[in-house]
Amino acid sequence: MSAGLIILLLVPPGEMQAPLVSGIVSAAGRSLGADARVLVDPVAPVPDEDAVALGDRLHASGVVTLRWLDGGRVALHAHWAGQAGWTDRYFAFNEGDLAEERGRTIGFTLASMVQTEFPSRAPPARAPSPAAVKAPEKSEAAPARGPRAGRFSMEARALVDVAAHATTLGGVLRGAFRVVPLLSLTGAAGFRTGSVGETSGQLRAFSLAAGLRVRIFSSSSGAGGAGAAGGAAAAAGAGEDRGYEVALLGEWVSSWETLSRTSNALQETQHEGRWVPGAHVQLGGAWFVAPRVALVAGLGAHIDFGSTDVVVNGRTVTTLSPYHGVAELGIRVHF
């Protein structure tokens, strides 16, 4: 019996092939017995240490990352609880091999790896199909994704900022560094511009921001179920779909705001500017169109710590509201 065995299989959401993954889960599950569970979590590429952390949260006996390599090859990158280091198995298939057959071959091999590491807890695994060609079990060569792949990301977004008396358009560049699977540090620089109706003036704002992004949900719509961010791994399902995630962003912001206005009487342009501190929160989503590339969108609110009076000829003609609604749309690339 394989009492209590839990194997966590991590699959890149942008490359999840349901027939292959279903074949892996089915073959490994049959070989390991009814008391073993093979859980599938479609997530963006994570460093090895983050993958181990995901396994620890689920009390998994092993964490296995499924990777697609160049030339149609497939790799299993496995770590076993209580042991140091990682084990790699590589597979190459003929073009005519069905995805289900490839998955069963990989699944039987996975079960054999588990039997080797936990001989007293797993029944003998069926031998894998000869269609697979495997490299030596221990490999020092770096696979297609290095151990720190996906820790950094960069976004380019267009934004719309809506406030009373002023609507501005612009863009923002935001970088992120993931410190743990669910938490990233962020830094951003942005620019927006628009008109202030009551004064016929032009508002320009350059901003710098720093904060945190917390992933609250991630999954693949083809897998059905919450990802590791929800505290449970998803079971493999039918259909090939892209992965997605939902995250909450909070940042402190400092903006240099400049108001330019041309005086009709003097025929000259006046400029006034100042630093305005503030903060914003945003609920955002990402849809992975490739393993390292995602379309991103966000909707949130921004508050300036203080209002801005617009004074013309010694008279306050309007006050810019400190409360803003913000919408963003763009693209993210993981490194």
What are the 10-residue block averages of pLDDT along the chain, 335 residues in total? 73 67 85 83 79 86 85 85 85 82 88 78 47 40 37 93 88 92 91 79 91 81 36 34 79 90 63 87 90 90 82 66 92 90
Do 159 and 23 share a structural domain? no
3-state SS, residue 242 = coil
3-state SS, residue 57 = helix
d(CA 38, CA 222): 17
Do 60 and 209 share a structural domain? no
Largest CA distance in the chain: 92
Do 307 and 195 share a structural domain? yes
d(CA 93, CA 158): 43
Do 309 and 176 share a structural domain? yes
**102 near 114, Cβ under 8 Å?**
no
pLDDT value of residue 17: 56
By DSSP bridging, strand 37-42 and strand 6-11 are parallel
> What are the tens digits of pLDDT across the range 12-27?
775 555 688 888 888 8
Do 319 and 206 share a structural domain? yes
Q: Cα 216 vs. chain centroid, distance in angstroms?
A: 11
Which amino acid appears at position 119 of this protein? P
Put simply, whether the predicted model's pTM sits higher than 0.85 gets the answer: no
Between helix 99-117 and helix 18-32 the angle, nearest 10°, is 40
Which DSSP string corresponds to 62-108?
EEEEEEE-GGG-EEEEEEETT--S-EEEEE---TTS-HHHHHHHHHH
Do 163 and 110 share a structural domain? no
CA distances from 103 to 17, 25, 70, 129 (A): 10, 8, 18, 10
Residue-number span of the structural domain to which 72 is assigned: 6-117
Considering its fold, how many domains does the chain have in total?
2
**44 near 54, Cβ under 8 Å?**
no
pLDDT value of residue 321: 80
